[in-house]
Structure 1
Amino acid sequence: MSLPRRTTTLTRLTNETKVQVSLSLDGGVLPAFEPCKHFPQTSPEEATRIVPVPEAAHSTQFTPTQQITINTGVGFLDHLLHALAKHAGWSLAVRCKGDLFS
């Protein structure tokens, strides 16, 4: 018996902050982000899959079993989310824009 993959994508838009998350609790390939005017596509392949973000190289890891790319704008939060996803075996992509107070 094969269980369905446990994946989701989420977009949260407020006046101050724009956040997109793609998560697979089983690891592997992530579903693509939902189209959003606040995060324009930089390549045609972004419509079908998650593409590593060059400016988030410090918190990006793509392997056959796990895809992780985190870009929140807060380095320590990027590190914490990356470590959580890595050790939990998740595939996780997060991108944020907006107010940052650090």
Structure 2
Amino acid sequence: MIKVSILYPYRENGRFDTEYYCTHHMPLAAKLFGSALKGWSVDIGVNAGPPGSPPPYVAVGHFLFETMDAFYAAFQPHADTLLDDIPNYTDGGNGRILISEIKVSV
């Protein structure tokens, strides 16, 4: 199983519409990815550890796929649609991508 994470760095005075991201963008991606997608979730940054510190990331979206090939096959036909939606929820541009292999899940 692999996890595709899109990390959106925190920026002071940056715009990130978590409501839109959670209720429109991520469900849109899930619909477009179809049965290849095994699950998804969103993390909203709270802080960096010490009380009152800004989080390193304002949000992180996660998608689960069986393989990287399954991810690429699901994403590539819809890349333009999803990338074109980014300005609707952030003025920070594309997030940083991390593709990881899940070794342990509890």
Q: Which has the higher contact order (CA 8 A, sep 6+)?
A: 2
Fold equivalence (TM over 0.5): no
The TM-score normalised by the length of structure 2 is: 0.28
Structure number with larger C-alpha Rg: 2
The TM-score normalised by the length of structure 1 is: 0.29
Q: Which has the higher helix share?
A: 2
